[in-house]
Amino acid sequence: MWDFIFNSVLLGVGLAMDAFSVSLASGLAEPQMNAKRALTICGVFGAFQFAMPLIGWVCVHTVAGWFSWFEKLIPWIALILLGFIGIKMIIEGIRGGGEDKSAGMDARTLFVMGVATSIDALSVGFAISHYGIKDAVLCALIIGVVTLLICLIGITLGKKLGMKLAGKASILGGIILMAIGIEIFVKGIF
């Protein structure tokens, strides 16, 4: 049982790194963010990291043949989504001089960031396909909780740095998002 928990935590840490970086960028873009908003953002990332492995698990047990073509699109989707959001944040940072602290943080954008940072977790469904439904749900739950905690750390660090970087935070956050998209793309292609 401890091996199962340990492996699930490791999966969670590995999968949470993209969401951590986006959380860091979110804290940079909005250094005055309140605790409720931070928990909402982290909760969205945790929820997506919980759901995606389960969706992958279900796909393996139902429509695995249909899913294989989609797996090749994952790096492209992440690159496009995070690149778009990153460019938007950079433009808003340049135009507004970084004054718009809510840049890129509306509900629709948060949803897109949640999808973009967790889409690679679909493939974890293949790795855990030998689990029964209870173990698959427990593994996904551990991944989601680990992601939530790591994202809280990211937002906290981002907020502290954002206070120091004031006018450049939106630009730096956009650059980070674009870098994450490129990293996911390069890892997925190679």
Q: 76 lies in which domain range? A: 2-189
Reduced to 3 states, what is the DSSP secondary structure of residue 11?
helix
Total number of domains constituting the chain: 1
The predicted pLDDT at position 104 comes to 47
Residues 101, 30: Cα–Cα separation, whole Å: 5
- The answer to pTM > 0.85 is no
Residues 102, 122: Cα–Cα separation, whole Å: 29
pLDDT over threshold 80, residue 132 = yes
Residues 137, 131: Cα–Cα separation, whole Å: 9
Query: pLDDT (tens digit, 9 = 90+) per residue, 14-45?
Result: 888 888 888 988 888 888 899 999 999 999 99
Residues 138, 172: Cα–Cα separation, whole Å: 36
